[in-house]
Amino acid sequence: LKNMVDGLANTYQLYDPKMIAVSTTCMAEVIGDDLHSFIQNAKDEDSVPRDFDVPFAHTPAFVGSHVDGYDNMVKGILEHFWKGQERTQIEGTINIIPGFDGFCVGNNRELKRLLDVMGVSYTLIQDASDQFDTPSDGEYRM
């Protein structure tokens, strides 16, 4: 629990993120750690504000592959933000939720380029294409 409290606090203070997504590892799954309770306890100890978004997912490596873990995390994030919401339809726009893609930099950029050329309004969930171009020079930037 102390690692969760310290990890959330350090991440929140150092990076000033909009959310912190948490996933499990094999050992946490074997032990049976209660991730939801760990996050609540960390919030109770003020490592992050109580209303700060900390979506989570169970991602044991002994179940499926890294693709399954990725899908579980995306699902966990979407479910976290969907709670209490009602479905509304926005005319003339589409949502795109791509799966795990080792070539997302080129694929997402080309997908966005094509949609822009066609004049399609879209929301692309978990687009990491720009972050992968960030240089490793010791300076944090998103």
Q: Does 93-133 match 2-82 at the fold level?
A: yes
Structurally, at CATH architecture level, domain 2-82 sits in: 3-Layer(aba) Sandwich (3.40)
**What is the per-residue pLDDT for 20?**
97
State whether residue 44 is helix, strand or coil: helix
**What is the per-residue pLDDT for 142?**
63
26 is catalytic: yes
pTM of the model: 0.80
Q: Would you place residue 122 in the very low, low, confident or very high pLDDT band (cuts 50, 70, 90)?
A: very high
Q: Quick: pLDDT tens for 62-99.
A: 888 888 888 999 999 999 999 999 988 888 899 998 88
Looking at the domain 93-133, which fold is it? Rossmann fold (3.40.50)
Q: Indicate if the pLDDT at residue 103 is higher than 80.
A: no
Greater confidence (44 vs 33) lies with: 44
Among 30, 63, 67, 120, the one annotated catalytic? 30
Rounded to whole angstroms, the Cα distance separating 118 from 116 reads 5
**What is the per-residue pLDDT for 28?**
78
Domain ranges of the chain: 2-82, 93-133
The mean pLDDT value of the chain amounts to 88
Among 22, 26, 63, 104, the one annotated catalytic? 26
What element of type H or E holds 96?
strand 93-96
Q: Would you place residue 51 in the very low, low, confident or very high pLDDT band (cuts 50, 70, 90)?
A: very high
Greater confidence (12 vs 125) lies with: 12
104 is catalytic: no
Give one word for 58, left, alpha or beta, with left for phi > 0 and alpha for psi -120 to 50.
Answer: beta
